[in-house]
Structure 1
Amino acid sequence: MGKSTWIDIRAGLDDLVLQEHHRPYEVFSSITNPDTQTPQMILMVGAGHKTVAIQKLRSGIARTADCGGDIQLSIDPETIGWPSPVLIADCELHRAVLFKTVVAGRIPGNIASRSLTWRRRIPQGLSVEPGDISNLVYTQLMLPFSTLICLFADDFQGLEGVARLLAAWLANLINCPSDLPRDTHPRIIILRRVTDNINIDELALMRQFLSILIKEVERRVGPVVERRQRLIDTSMLFSYFGDIRILTIPEPHSTPQQWEDLRRKILAESERVRVKRLKAKFAFSATHFKQLFSFACDHFCSDVLAPFNFIRATRRANPVPINMTLHLSELISRVNNERPGTFALRLHTFAVPAIASALVLDAFPPEMHMFNPIDVFNELCKPSTAGVRAIIADGRGVGGASLFIDKLKELKSALNLDTPILDHFDLSVGSYYGGFILLGLDVKGWSLEECDSQSQKVAKVVFQKSRCLLPSRYRSTRIDEALRNAFGESTAASGSCAVVFSNYGSSLSEEITHEVKVSEIARATLSDSRFFKLYKSFYSSRAREHSSPYSSGALAPLPPVYTSA
């Protein structure tokens, strides 16, 4: 089917109205199984160059020149049969200088109109321009459902124009627009034409662009950022977007192969985010996508400050009872009073399984999206008084590591639950071999037995006396090789958090410019200067601002966090 308006803004008698057109959802009828296929959505933001690119990339039907000022939805026809079909959101809402007036009379049944009620709470005298509204629609409504945003630089007068746009977006994103896990945020590709045939250094161009962006952000939100003690640097950008790249777009007359190469790169970037969302259980079926987007429209029209909460949105018709805490307390009280002296046993064998079963059945009725149960519990049922559950593993060497693993085995046996042991903790703290074990449990998913085996194996390889007395007692090449063999090429998906990996006696010295491997983190936390050469440190500028140098271990504020005392 042809492309048609999906989202636009109209001017009513006394308010602005967001219109959600239902006709574009007909693209879902072409999807083979909308209940199992999980669409990914690419935002194409621009004007004329964007329209040409959509056509050349075979991503949909190009809009006509007289049709702008809205967001149109289509589906990439070549991806209809994929497990994750690609939706294309053709975005030109930012081009509206004035919003069209709502047509008098009855609104068609296939259009849902909602007033932007939050505008009534804006202080008198403070105006909100059409450009501000369109930026809010992009950031607060569209981004949570997108896997990739393509910005066409030539439609914004170059990289400076894109920097101004992103700075405006960041000004809106003081609060995160949704409860998406941090490493599942959409990525950005900036597409620009190059008139000559010279090779472009993407890394140098990125540095130039980020410098321009920082200046634009400072100009827009500097005072607010300073009051909130937030840094004005690239970490702001990567707090809301998974990654950013600048790619060259071919000329309209370029060969089909050149456009095909660009198409593959765009789809690959979108796919990376989709895989992360699938793993985090935030990849929605076409059926759920449509309903959740309607819920998000409701939320956007009533509140643009509070983030949209996917989990709570699915519970609109079935909210958690207000008095659930009282019911649970009553149940526990009855279990305690029924048979004195057997409370611990009955709590473990009856009360806890019964409560857990009831919570799961309530959280996942038929046809419900299967979020991660831990996320659902933390969002809906976790008491506000619950503290942080921390597990701490110190650096007592291989012998201490084996003792620590034995204690974890005892704990796992007592819990009698078939779940990874780290699922019971919010914060993991470890240094030396303790950090090694926690990395194995969390990132590699090792069993406790495998952690014990790997630590013994590494120790045998590493602790072989070196003939050289200085500067360390053992060869650093051995520990490097042993850790690479243990952890392979696995990386720490740090998302947009600040990450610091330090070691004994070192100082913060090098900014992270690559995806950090787990073997590098383990090398940092195992680097006791009495035995090995010091390992280079890693840090991000946000960590440097808010923390002092660490004298030992490895620190990475991730879920969970690896740190040291």
Structure 2
Amino acid sequence: MTLQTLLELKANAPGLPGPYLQENLAPYRAIDVLGTKTLQVVTVIGGLQKRATLLRYFGLSRQSAPGYSVALCPWPGNSDKIFLDCELHLQPDSAINKIVGGFQPGHLHYHLLQHPPHKALGVAYSFYYNVLSLFSDLIVLFVSDTGGLKRVINILCYWMQEGLERRHQHRAYISLVFGEGNEIRDEVVMGRLEIAMLYRLRTMNTQTDYTLAQIQQTRKRLFNISIIRHTKNLVSAIDKALLAGTIYRAEAGLNFSAINWKLLFQEATVHYGKQKYSHFNVISASRLHYPVPKHLSACIMDVFRSCEESHEIPYIIASALAMDAFPPRMQSFPPDQVFETLYREAVHQCEKNAKIPNVTLKIKLFFSTLELEPWRFKHTPCRVCSSNNVTIIKLKPPTAGNRILHLRLLQAVSNQLLCHLFYIELKTMPMFYYSPEVITIVIRCRLNPGHALLDLLFRIHRLRICFYYQCDEITEMKALVCTEDVIQKCREMQPFERKFKIKVLSPTAAISIDMDGIDGEKYSISNCPYRVDHLIEDQGLNNPYRRTALQIDRNKDSLQSKPILQLEVAKTIDTLELLV
């Protein structure tokens, strides 16, 4: 089994800033197929001994992955585990390949390192700790490949300094693999490490006298270090250390699903390139696509003003915050950390304004002890027909634009408004493992199944109106808007839908879709030309916590069984203006 290159270090081209981390998207295929399964990650750092060991015991080869990179590969025989094979630290400063200016293919992302260490070695070990350790259940460090025990101790001291300066909260589980015949006892290794850590801490802060107990406490807070002496015991030793790391990460809320791991890892890589001394907060990053309400403080103050009994305030606010804290499929972080990260500042400010002492502490206590469960969306039955409520019409599909159309004026719409009845969506999220990528676009219509839609389609069919679609293809492609098959499906009360495949080179490419107007001229459908990355964002495909859309029963019999509801909806539609 071969490893695929995930990250490489690139120097700047003439006239451009640098250096860059080049992220290749193809290896993420092994993670994407796991979906919501919990992922276990083992990061291995070394050189020749590491390569020989991985090939011998795991059958992993770097033949297709160049040196001086971070490569990814599934754990042989176990689909829920992956290896991150790290040789970025072997990159010579004088031989870093430069990036190529101009067009960037979609399967590559470049992350500018705005505050990089002076040498490639520093970039590598800084990235290993500040990013990879946060997303790894275990780090396996081959001592002989890194220059011996003294060099390993220097690396661990550097990681300690990075952890203290960036205020890391996680503990890295590390296994040190010694070569055959090494007789250094475990307590000697730990003793040398603690002495070196003491020296480094005194260098960092000359005004503080550190005790041995403080050094040991710092080491245990930042690292859990185990030692593997013989490579013949490597597999069982790694399994044992990995189990300990997995248990810790589950308790710390860091046992990410594959979906969350990929999302947060990519966000952490971006953060590493931009920030110099701040640690990456996984809780805040998890809410980028589902932000905390903007007017949270105002809402909390309303509760303060509305409650006559002050002792009820902590219960009410804690319960309300719990409803917002864990969107569907969000990582199950410890509640006290979620409160500190997302809500404490707003609650504390309200406490000061309302002059109610210790209410923040009480809210945190109640919030942390609530039994939080993932949201369950319940749909109340209709009071008219006692059927579950369903969405009959989309007032404003996310990829549809903002023009206005009154349904009563359907027969008199202009060519442009007619074309804006149609809008596009992506069938699935483009992964850009390779470039170009073939993606499937879906053209929909805002009109729901019914007489209005059929009348429109019959007219379009008689006039032989066509779609003209193109992205990165050389030639424009053409297809009828309405076929006999489409009309038949709409007669069966299915929504209008046309699917086309197009080639896309990068997320910044624009999809162009035109259609014939009644006057024979071409007009763009809603929001076209539409950039792929904007379409992904508007449709919410890059948000793993998005709410699952309600499944609408389009079956003709089921709709006929609800005549009263249909009459109510018909009356409502007659008075609505659709935001298109």
TM-score (norm 1): 0.57
From the superposition, tell whether residues 64 and 225 of structure 1 become closer, same or farther in structure 2 (CA, over 3 Å): farther
Output the amino acid matched with 1:247: I
Q: Name the structure 2 match of 1:140.
A: 130
Q: Which has the higher strand share?
A: 2
Which aligned pairs between 1:445-484 and structure 2 lie closer than 5 A?
none
Q: Is this contact kept in 1: 2:8–2:23, CA < 8 A? A: yes
- Count of matched residue pairs: 354
d(CA) in 2 for partners of 1:416, 1:310: 23
d(CA) in 2 for partners of 1:130, 1:418: 43
What are the Cα deviations for residues 330-356 of structure 1, in whole angstroms up to 9, with x where unaligned? 2331333xxxxxx35xx63xx655534
Q: Is this contact kept in 2: 1:311–1:379, CA < 8 A? A: yes
| 1:280 counterpart = 2:261 | no
d(CA) in 2 for partners of 1:236, 1:165: 16
Residue in structure 2 matching 1:244, options 225, 235, 255: 225
Residue in structure 2 matching 1:371, options 322, 330, 333: 333
Identity rate, percent: 24
Residue in structure 2 matching 1:223, options 203, 208, 219: 203
Measure how far apart 1:220 and its partner are: 5.0
d(CA) in 2 for partners of 1:286, 1:315: 17
d(CA) in 1 for partners of 2:293, 2:33: 39
SS in 1 for 2:100: coil
d(CA) in 2 for partners of 1:390, 1:290: 34
Measure how far apart 1:236 and its partner are: 3.6
Q: Is this contact kept in 1: 2:348–2:360, CA < 8 A? A: no
- Give ranges in structure 2 of 5+ residues lacking alignment: 352-356, 372-580
What are the Cα deviations for residues 178-217 of structure 1, in whole angstroms up to 9, with x where unaligned? 443xxxx222111112248xxx4xxx62232234334544
Q: Name the structure 2 match of 1:207.
A: 187
d(CA) in 2 for partners of 1:238, 1:361: 35
Output the amino acid matched with 1:26: R
Residue in structure 1 matching 2:90, options 95, 102, 105: 95
Output the amino acid matched with 2:83: I
What are the Cα deviations for residues 136-155 of structure 1, in whole angstroms up to 9, with x where unaligned? 11111111111211111111
What are the Cα deviations for residues 286-310 of structure 1, in whole angstroms up to 9, with x where unaligned? 0110001011112111113111111
| 1:113 counterpart = 2:103 | no
d(CA) in 1 for partners of 2:289, 2:360: 35
Q: Name the structure 2 match of 1:19.
A: 22
Residue in structure 2 matching 1:155, options 145, 157, 166: 145
Q: Is this contact kept in 1: 2:4–2:72, CA < 8 A? A: yes
SS in 1 for 2:243: helix
d(CA) in 2 for partners of 1:211, 1:384: 44
Output the amino acid matched with 1:28: I
SS in 1 for 2:115: helix
| 1:313 counterpart = 2:299 | no
Please provide the CA RMSD for this pair: 3.3
Output the amino acid matched with 2:23: E
Q: Is this contact kept in 2: 1:46–1:151, CA < 8 A? A: yes
SS in 2 for 1:117: coil
Measure how far apart 1:86 and its partner are: 2.1
SS in 2 for 1:313: helix
Measure how far apart 1:108 and its partner are: 2.2
Q: Is this contact kept in 2: 1:43–1:149, CA < 8 A? A: yes
What are the Cα deviations for residues 451-479 of structure 1, in whole angstroms up to 9, with x where unaligned? xxxxxxxxxxxxxxxxxxxxxxxxxxxxx
From the superposition, tell whether residues 28 and 376 of structure 1 become closer, same or farther in structure 2 (CA, over 3 Å): same
d(CA) in 2 for partners of 1:329, 1:192: 59
Q: Is this contact kept in 2: 1:19–1:112, CA < 8 A? A: yes
Q: Name the structure 2 match of 1:186.
A: 172
Output the amino acid matched with 1:238: K
Q: Is this contact kept in 2: 1:21–1:112, CA < 8 A? A: yes
Q: Name the structure 2 match of 1:75.
A: 74
Q: Is this contact kept in 1: 2:260–2:331, CA < 8 A? A: yes
Which aligned pairs between 1:6-85 and structure 2 lie closer than 5 A?
6-12=6-12, 13-31=16-34, 34-35=35-36, 37-58=37-58, 61-64=60-63, 67-80=66-79, 85=80
| 1:380 counterpart = 2:342 | yes
Measure how far apart 1:67 and its partner are: 2.4
SS in 2 for 1:174: helix
Q: Name the structure 2 match of 1:2.
A: 2
Measure how far apart 1:4 and its partner are: 1.3
Which aligned pairs between 1:521-560 and structure 2 lie closer than 5 A?
none
Output the amino acid matched with 1:246: I
d(CA) in 2 for partners of 1:66, 1:7: 10
d(CA) in 2 for partners of 1:149, 1:86: 13
d(CA) in 2 for partners of 1:262, 1:417: 43
Output the amino acid matched with 1:6: L
d(CA) in 2 for partners of 1:367, 1:117: 33
From the superposition, tell whether residues 265 and 304 of structure 1 become closer, same or farther in structure 2 (CA, over 3 Å): same
What are the Cα deviations for residues 359-385 of structure 1, in whole angstroms up to 9, with x where unaligned? 223222223223233321222112347
Q: Name the structure 2 match of 1:175.
A: 165
Q: Is this contact kept in 1: 2:25–2:108, CA < 8 A? A: yes
Q: Is this contact kept in 2: 1:46–1:91, CA < 8 A? A: yes
d(CA) in 2 for partners of 1:177, 1:136: 14
SS in 1 for 2:77: helix
- Give ranges in structure 1 of 5+ residues lacking alignment: 120-126, 251-257, 337-342, 392-410, 422-565
Residue in structure 1 matching 2:264, options 292, 300, 318: 292
d(CA) in 1 for partners of 2:191, 2:314: 54
- Name which one, 1 or 2, has greater alpha-carbon Rg: 2
Q: Is this contact kept in 2: 1:72–1:89, CA < 8 A? A: yes
SS in 2 for 1:173: helix
What are the Cα deviations for residues 377-419 of structure 1, in whole angstroms up to 9, with x where unaligned? 222112347888999xxxxxxxxxxxxxxxxxxx9xxx99995
Output the amino acid matched with 1:54: L
Measure how far apart 1:218 and its partner are: 5.5
